[in-house]
């Protein structure tokens, strides 16, 4: 161990010779990250407010719109950065690299380029990222694709996150600093959003699609019976 | 290496001390497996044929029904067996265990209880398995949930299979016997069904749901304008 670069990550025997400690403090990273989220949330709220009389009605739908926009940015930029730079991340000092080095205290798979994490994050960044923006747009425009996009996005996020949690929990969480701050706040709390909100939105999508398909089936039957009557 | 049980799997340094060679030959396993598939396919065809005038019209829809039923059996029984028994599989001689030992020549992660494979297969077995049967039922009954279930099932299968392929390809396929029979037939060909067919069925679901939601939106607008006229 003595010949390797010391680092604060778990498992302790992990070799990360390209690791360089963050220049920013934890507080500075969290403030920068949450300020960015704050600006994105306010921007999305402003947009959604313009459609409050038509396609984005009520607080629930406005928050859903904010969620799609925020998800899109997190997937495409934060997770996209990880996808592209994961092999050299531990030695970098950009804001996004420092954010990942801080988060990795709760999951070192982000610094060791674990194959599942890299592939799942790449799909999340470049499939679910753009889809999140499209879903926001489809909601804004009240497109018939609105709940279809919401269902695909939410199911993709949910399945990815369940796999993410369970693959390391199954191994006894060797990649996480056992301090409760990292276990419960970073690993547990941050990722829980992509379990709970997708579950709610899948339920909401299925309900709306089921209602729509019931109306469409009835409309078809009516038009058929009208046609039959005319033939008679 | 000398003190460990010899086995035919890759990577060659993998330790599988509980491994016992199969009693059945490859040909016997393949005949038993494909005979079972044959019986299931014929049974599903027989069922679908009864609905050929109503909900399961044409060869395409009949094959889709067969796919849901066959998927359901493979997920629930073959993959369910793996999910429950993966830790002791390498030493077992049941037909399902021997099938997995044969398949594992193309992917030893099934015998080493790789965390991603175990979690993904467990979700496939116990979430997508029952959902596949429900999707077959929803198609049979022409339920409004038909294309919703088809979309969720197919997306789950597709995402799981893409992760399955890419997580080992990313590592240079160290878990696969490099013989083309294992690389292309077992690993490549067998799993390719769960890429191609879900892609087709996702496209088919989205098309049908989009059409349905367009009709439902128009019906809503019509009923609104009728109401408005009456009020006037």
CB atoms A167 and B123 under 8 Å: no
- Asked if the model's pLDDT at residue B219 lies above 90, the reply is no
* Rounded Cα distance, B14 and A167, in Å: 20
Tell me the mean pLDDT in the region B66-77: 97
Establish, for the pair of chains A and B, how many residue pairs have beta carbons separated by less than 8 Å. Answer: 113
Most B CBs within 10 Å: which of A54, A112, A139, A144, as the mutation test of the B interface?
A144
User: Quick check: is A5 in a domain?
Assistant: no
Please name the residues in contact with A65: beta carbons below 8 A apart, sequence gap of 6 or more: A44, A47, A48, A56, A136, A139, A140
Residue found by looking up tokens 């069925």 in the block: B201
Please name the residues in contact with B89: beta carbons below 8 A apart, sequence gap of 6 or more: B82, B97, B100, B101, B110, B111
User: Quick check: is A197 in a domain?
Assistant: yes
User: Quick check: is A231 in a domain?
Assistant: no
**Which backbone phi and psi does B53 adopt, to 5 degrees?**
-95, -5
- Asked if the model's pLDDT at residue B92 lies above 70, the reply is yes
Helices A146-169 and B115-123 sit at what angle, rounded to 10 degrees? 140
User: Quick check: is B232 in a domain?
Assistant: no
Choose among A160, A209, A219: nearest Cβ to B215: A219
Our CA angle for A216, A217, A222, nearest 5°, is: 95
Most B CBs within 10 Å: which of A147, A158, A163, A199, as the mutation test of the B interface?
A163
| Per-residue CA distances from B194 to A132, B71, B156 (Å) | 25, 9, 10
Our CA angle for B208, B161, A108, nearest 5°, is: 125
Range of the domain at A52: 26-222
Our CA angle for A30, A194, A29, nearest 5°, is: 10
pLDDT tens by residue, B99-120: 999 999 999 999 999 999 999 9
Domain count, chain B: 1
* Rounded Cα distance, B98 and B82, in Å: 11
Most B CBs within 10 Å: which of A153, A201, A215, as the mutation test of the B interface?
A215
From first to last of its 232 residues, what are the pLDDT tens digits of chain A? 458 999 999 999 999 999 999 999 999 999 999 999 999 999 999 999 888 888 898 999 999 999 999 999 999 999 999 999 999 999 999 999 999 999 999 999 999 999 999 999 999 999 999 999 999 999 999 999 999 999 999 999 999 999 999 999 999 999 999 999 999 999 999 999 999 999 999 999 999 999 999 999 998 877 766 655 555 4
* Rounded Cα distance, B132 and B79, in Å: 13
Residues of A in contact with B145 (CB under 8 A): 206, 210, 213
**3-state secondary structure at position B55:** coil
Q: Output the pTM of the full model.
A: 0.94
Please name the residues in contact with B63: beta carbons below 8 A apart, sequence gap of 6 or more: none
User: Quick check: is A164 in a domain?
Assistant: yes
**3-state secondary structure at position B130:** helix
The residue count for chain A: 232
Contact A115, B164 (CB under 8 A): no
User: Quick check: is A176 in a domain?
Assistant: yes
CB atoms B163 and A163 under 8 Å: yes
User: Quick check: is A227 in a domain?
Assistant: no
User: Quick check: is A148 in a domain?
Assistant: yes
């Amino acid at each position: 161990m003595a010949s390797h670069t010391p680092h604060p990550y778990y498992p302790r025997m992990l070799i990360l010779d390209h690791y360089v400690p963050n220049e920013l403090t934890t507080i500075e990273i969290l403030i920068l990250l949450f300020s960015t989220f704050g600006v994105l949330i306010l921007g999305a709220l402003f947009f959604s407010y313009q459609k409050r009389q038509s396609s984005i009605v009520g607080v629930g739908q406005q928050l859903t719109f904010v969620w799609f926009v925020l998800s899109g940015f997190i997937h495409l930029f934060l997770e996209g950065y990880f996808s592209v730079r994961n092999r050299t991340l531990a030695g970098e000092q950009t804001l996004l690299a420092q954010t990942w080095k801080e988060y990795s205290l709760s999951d070192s798979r982000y610094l060791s380029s674990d194959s599942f994490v890299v592939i799942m994050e790449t799909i999340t960044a470049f499939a679910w990222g753009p889809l999140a923006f499209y879903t926001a747009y489809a909601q804004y425009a009240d497109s018939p694709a609105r709940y279809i996009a919401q269902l695909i996005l939410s199911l993709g996020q949910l399945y990815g996150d369940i796999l993410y949690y369970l693959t390391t929990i199954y191994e006894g969480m060797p990649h996480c600093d056992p301090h409760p701050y990292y276990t419960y706040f970073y690993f547990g709390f941050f990722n829980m959003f992509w379990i709970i909100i997708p579950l709610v939105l899948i339920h909401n999508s299925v309900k709306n699609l089921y209602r729509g398909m019931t109306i469409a089936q009835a409309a078809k039957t009516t038009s058929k019976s009208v046609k039959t009557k005319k033939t008679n």
